[in-house]
Amino acid sequence: MKAAVTRDDRPTGTVELEMSPPGEGQFTIYLDSSGICGSDIHSLESLGSGLSLGHEFAGMITKLGAGVQDFRLAIASSSQACI
């Protein structure tokens, strides 16, 4: 997966990260889009380098972990997680 990252307290681009398979009760969402908002900038200012930015996303469920019952593959999903 690609992730927007910071170096030297500045957004610098994307890197490729390896994804673990979903664990029990978890699922994987293939992201079609992700946004960077003001709270990402505040985190960058307070926490510094090495962050993966972007927590508002939209995508589709592509993998289900063991025990997942309330979701199914190919369901569109979005989130606005607060950090």
Quote the CA–CA distance of 65 and 12 in Å, as a whole number.
33
Global pTM reads: 0.67
Measured torsion, CA atoms of residues 28, 33, 38, 40, in degrees rounded to the nearest 10: 40
Helices (H), 1-83: 38-47
* pLDDT tens per residue, range 1-37: 787 777 776 667 788 888 899 999 999 998 888 777 7
Please state, rounded to an integer, the average pLDDT across all residues of the chain: 81
Q: What fold characterizes domain 2-80?
A: Quinone Oxidoreductase; Chain A, domain 1 (3.90.180)
Ordered by start, the domain boundaries in the chain are: 2-80
Q: Around Cβ 22, how many Cβ atoms within 10 Å?
A: 17
pLDDT at 25: 96
Quote the CA–CA distance of 82 and 36 in Å, as a whole number.
12
- Owner of token pair 């380098």: 49
Task: Name the DSSP letter for residue 19.
Answer: P
Reported as a pLDDT band with limits 50, 70 and 90, residue 80 is low
pLDDT above 90 covers a percentage of the chain that reads 30
